[in-house]
Every structure is written in structure tokens, then in C-alpha cells.
Amino acid sequence: MNKNIINLILTVLLAFVWSMLSMDWWSAMLAAIIVGSMVPLKGFKVFLMPFLGIFLFWGLYAYVLSSGNDFRLARQIGVLLNVGERPFLVILITALIGGLSAGVAGVFGKQLANLKRKK
């Protein structure tokens, strides 16, 4: 399988397991760091794959929780965040936050791998 896809799947898998174990939100970043250092990628994909993985995971997770409740709270959080009663925008923001932080963490993971390799 393509290394990119492996990185993405492993990141999501690890993040998912940790979330089930009631770990805090930044465990998604930890997942991206570890996977990023064990399955190092090249170029922009170092950022992109963990970004995509956690973006999808968080977005889907938020969607599942919210859709079961008619997006009732998400609409109000939209007002709170000044984006209006737009639950999908709130889900998008959530997914972006997860994705971006995982992307940054992935870059760090790659640097960690570089450090290890040259030793």
C-alpha cells in the first residue's frame, strides 16, 4: 500500500483508539507525531496526510454526535463563534482545528525521524 495512505490510516487509527480511552484532544497530535516519525513521508505530504486524516476523523465524529441531536447545540455554537446558525461551518472549523494541529504535529514527527536516521 502507498506509504501516504498507511500514514493517514495509522494516524486516524491511533487517534481513534486514544479518543476511546478518554485521552485529551491533543492525543490526535501525539498520534500524528508518532506515525509521522515511524512512517516518514516526503515534501508537503508530511503535513497533508495527518491533516487529512484528523480533519476527516474530527469532522465525522462531530457530525455523528451532532446529527443525532438535529445539530441543536452546533447551531448555537455557530452564533457564539459569530458564524451564524450554521452547524456545518462549526463542524468545518472543528475539523480544520484538528487537521491543522495534526499537520503541524506530523511535520514535527518527520523532523524526529530525520534526527533518528542520521544518528
How far is Cα of residue 36 from the mean position of the Cα atoms in its chain?
13
Chain residues that interact with other proteins, rule: CB under 8 A:
19, 22-29, 33, 58, 61-62, 65-66, 68-74, 76-80, 90, 93-94, 97-98, 100-101, 104-105, 107-108, 110-112, 114-115, 118
How far apart (Å, rounded) are the C-alpha atoms in residues 19 and 55? 15
The distance of closest approach from Cβ of residue 1 to other proteins in the complex, given in angstroms and rounded to an integer, is 26
User: Which residue's CB is nearer to other proteins, number 1 or number 117?
Assistant: 117
The distance of closest approach from Cβ of residue 45 to other proteins in the complex, given in angstroms and rounded to an integer, is 15
User: Which residue's CB is nearer to other proteins, number 5 or number 25?
Assistant: 25
Render 67-95 in DSSP notation, one character per residue: HTTTTHHHHHHHHHTTS-S-HHHHHHHHH
**C-alpha dihedral sign at 14, 99, 62, 81:** positive
Q: Quick one: which of 41, 60, 116 has its CA closest to 10?
A: 41
The distance of closest approach from Cβ of residue 106 to other proteins in the complex, given in angstroms and rounded to an integer, is 9
User: Which residue's CB is nearer to other proteins, number 5 or number 114?
Assistant: 114
User: Which residue's CB is nearer to other proteins, number 1 or number 68?
Assistant: 68
The distance of closest approach from Cβ of residue 6 to other proteins in the complex, given in angstroms and rounded to an integer, is 21
Q: Quick one: which of 72, 45, 68, 57 has its CA closest to 11?
A: 57
